[in-house]
Amino acid sequence: MSKSIAIPGDYICKEEEYIPHRHVYVDELGNVRSAVIGKVVLDNLNRRVSVKPFKDIKIPKTGDVVVGWVTSMRDDIAFIKIVGYDFTKLFKHNFTAVLHISQVTDSKGDNMYNYVRIGDIVKVKVLNDYLPLLVTIKEPKLGVILAYCSRCGSPLYFDGNKLICAICGNTEQRKISLDYIAVRGKKGGV
């Protein structure tokens, strides 16, 4: 372990040394890093590492439904910037959430790009109460609430079972929430 006080992004240890627990995250190289400003806490009995924040941060709890947008993704995972319970009740701080393909569909070998894309605004349910947040969109009210065209960037309108761009005519698919925001298309849209 490198230090007893940490700020966001500080290296704490390797993932193999301690299991990441509260207020820490693992980067792409397997380094455990602090997600908050606070004191590093090592639980040698359970081999877990946490950071106890100096200032209590109110983070979403297990079962909370929150909104955010997809900031980056790979074939099996999407990273979401959580901004609030809705767009009228924003959090003081933004939180990073991780959406794994297993929390989208039960189909094996499916691709995350069939369900969400970068820039999509999503409604998700929180599965844990520590950072990074793990989220799901399996329920009908969860999923994409506003999507943008991958070709031209215009908002997509929902027509039956597909999303259509009123500007370029591109059609796309996503895991649509029952609360998808109505966007008017060429033929009146929704």
Give the domain CATH number at 94.
2.40.50.140
Expressed in percent and rounded to 5, the helix, strand and coil fractions of the chain are 5, 45, 50
Task: Looking at the structure, tell me whether residues 45 and 107 fall in a common domain.
Answer: no
Is the model's pLDDT at 137 over the cut of 70? yes
Q: What pLDDT shows up at residue 58?
A: 81
The answer on 98 and 139 residing in a single domain is yes
State how far the Cα of 129 lies from the Cα of 68, in Å rounded to an integer. Answer: 17
Same domain assignment for residues 86 and 48: no
| Interval 98-113 mean pLDDT | 92
Contact 148, 119 (CB under 8 A): yes
How many secondary structure helices (H) and strands (E) does the chain include? 0, 16
Same domain, 101 and 75: yes
Among 144, 166, 183, where does a domain finish? 144
Judge if 37 and 83 occupy the same domain: no
pLDDT digits (tens, 9 = 90+) for 45-91: 999 999 999 887 788 999 999 999 999 999 999 999 999 998 888 99
Residues 41 and 103 reside in one and the same domain: no
Please give the model's pTM, rounded to 2 decimal places: 0.73
Of 189 and 63, more confident: 63
State the CATH number of the domain containing residue 16. 2.40.50.100
**In terms of residue numbers, what domain contains 20?**
5-53
- pLDDT of 19 above 50: yes
Total number of domains constituting the chain = 2
Residue 60 lies in a domain: no
DSSP one-letter code for 74: -
Residue 58 lies inside a defined structural domain of this protein: no
47 and 69 part of one domain:
no
pLDDT at 189: 45
